[in-house]
């Protein structure tokens, strides 16, 4: 069941999503070699709760009867998504995708940013840039009168043109009172296919892109998803609202990127 959102609901979704952006910006301030993903999790959880919201990831169930133990997913290098924060210090040349979700006044925010730790190789930089570009290519298609497959196809073709893998098993989603609502938003598909996009449709678009094969497997903790060939993966995510002519991006990387520019 797809729920189109009223203007009031869109503003509530924006608040929850801007809080995710602000949380990720707090993390951007401290992300450097030596910091652990568990430390990042503590900062994120404190910041989210101090702002009157709930970290939606904490306690989120999986089909194997376990609940996610942290407030953010931190996926390092060959981890694609759902990495559990741990005590291993990040090191120069690593990348970490930090996925974060909030619930504020009953509405959900969901956004993800992949950070480089210190200097990363040109190869990895290109993977990050291409994945972020693909996200915006997808968003460009998220306008009234287009179809869901136009978004999916834009993401897929942009990444496959560079020889990258587009993960099939995990997809974007509708967002509202629930973090995961209909419809599913795959990162692959055919133009002109899928549901017609209407004003007020709020979705999270989230390319999960690998440098090598698109094949993945689940780690023993039954959360972390890693690439089969061990090559790195990137993940960027915005929550957006479909509008006429141009999508309204509800989350934001602005604060994050301001911090990153100041740190360099
Ligand atoms: Mg997310
Ligand atoms: Mg999501």
Position 263 scores a pLDDT of 85
Greatest Cα pair distance, the chain, in angstroms, is 48
Q: How confident is the model at residue 111 (pLDDT cuts 50, 70, 90)?
A: very high
Quote the tokens at residue 75.
Answer: 């996926």
Pairing of strands 216-218, 225-227: antiparallel
Report how far residue 183's alpha carbon sits from residue 178's, in angstroms, rounded to the nearest whole number.
12
Q: How confident is the model at residue 117 (pLDDT cuts 50, 70, 90)?
A: very high
Position 126 scores a pLDDT of 98
Please check the confidence at residue 264 and state whether its pLDDT lies above 90. no
Report how far residue 6's alpha carbon sits from residue 126's, in angstroms, rounded to the nearest whole number.
38
Pairing of strands 79-81, 225-227: antiparallel
Between the CA of 195 and the centroid of ligand 1 the distance, in Å, is 22
CATH class in words for 7-263: alpha beta
User: Which protein residues have a CB closer than 5 Å to ligand 1 (ion)?
Assistant: 99, 110, 112, 237
Between the CA of 113 and the centroid of ligand 1 the distance, in Å, is 9
Residue whose entry in the numeric block shows the structure tokens 């004003």: 199
Between the CA of 102 and the centroid of ligand 1 the distance, in Å, is 10
Quote the tokens at residue 251.
Answer: 């989350």
Domain spans, the chain: 7-263
> Helix or strand or coil: residue 217?
strand
Between the CA of 167 and the centroid of ligand 2 the distance, in Å, is 14
Report how far residue 49's alpha carbon sits from residue 218's, in angstroms, rounded to the nearest whole number.
30
Between the CA of 39 and the centroid of ligand 2 the distance, in Å, is 22
Please check the confidence at residue 12 and state whether its pLDDT lies above 80. yes
Between the CA of 100 and the centroid of ligand 2 the distance, in Å, is 8
Position 40 scores a pLDDT of 98
The proportion of the chain whose per-residue pLDDT surpasses 70, expressed as a percent, equals 100
pLDDT in tens, 47-58: 999 999 999 999
Mean pLDDT value of segment 123-130: 98
Nearest ligand to the CA atom of 173: 2
Position 58 scores a pLDDT of 98
Report how far residue 187's alpha carbon sits from residue 154's, in angstroms, rounded to the nearest whole number.
8
Between the CA of 172 and the centroid of ligand 1 the distance, in Å, is 8
The proportion of the chain whose per-residue pLDDT surpasses 90, expressed as a percent, equals 99
Report how far residue 186's alpha carbon sits from residue 175's, in angstroms, rounded to the nearest whole number.
14
- Mean per-residue pLDDT over the chain, rounded: 98
Question: Residue 97 contacts by C-beta under 8 Å, 6 or more apart in sequence?
Answer: 73, 74, 75, 79, 80, 81, 83, 112, 113, 114, 115, 233, 234, 235
Mean pLDDT value of segment 125-154: 98
């Amino acid at each position: 069941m797809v729920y189109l959102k009223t203007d009031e609901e869109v503003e509530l979704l924006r608040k929850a999503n801007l809080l995710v952006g602000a949380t990720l910006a707090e993390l951007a301030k401290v992300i450097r070699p030596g910091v652990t993903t568990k430390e990042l999790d503590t900062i994120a959880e404190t910041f989210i709760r101090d702002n009157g919201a709930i970290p939606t990831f904490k306690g989120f169930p999986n089909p194997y009867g376990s609940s996610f133990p942290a407030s953010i997913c931190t996926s390092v290098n060959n981890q694609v998504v759902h990495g559990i924060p741990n005590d291993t210090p990040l090191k120069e040349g690593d990348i970490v995708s930090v996925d974060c979700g909030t619930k504020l006044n009953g509405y959900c925010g969901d956004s993800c940013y992949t950070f480089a730790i210190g200097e990363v190789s040109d190869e990895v930089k290109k993977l990050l840039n291409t994945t972020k570009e693909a996200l915006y290519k997808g968003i460009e298609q998220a306008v009234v009168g287009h179809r869901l497959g136009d978004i999916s196809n834009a993401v897929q073709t942009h990444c496959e043109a560079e020889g990258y893998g587009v993960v099939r098993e995990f997809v974007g989603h509708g967002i509202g009172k629930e973090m995961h609502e209909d419809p599913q938003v795959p990162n692959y598909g055919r133009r002109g296919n899928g549901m017609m996009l209407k004003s007020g449709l709020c979705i999270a678009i989230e390319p999960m892109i690998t440098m090598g094969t698109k094949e993945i497997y689940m780690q023993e903790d039954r959360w972390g998803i890693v690439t089969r060939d061990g090559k790195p993966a990137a993940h960027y995510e915005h929550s957006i609202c479909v509008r006429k002519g141009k999508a309204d991006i509800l989350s934001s990387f602005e604060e994050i990127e301001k911090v990153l520019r100041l740190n360099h």
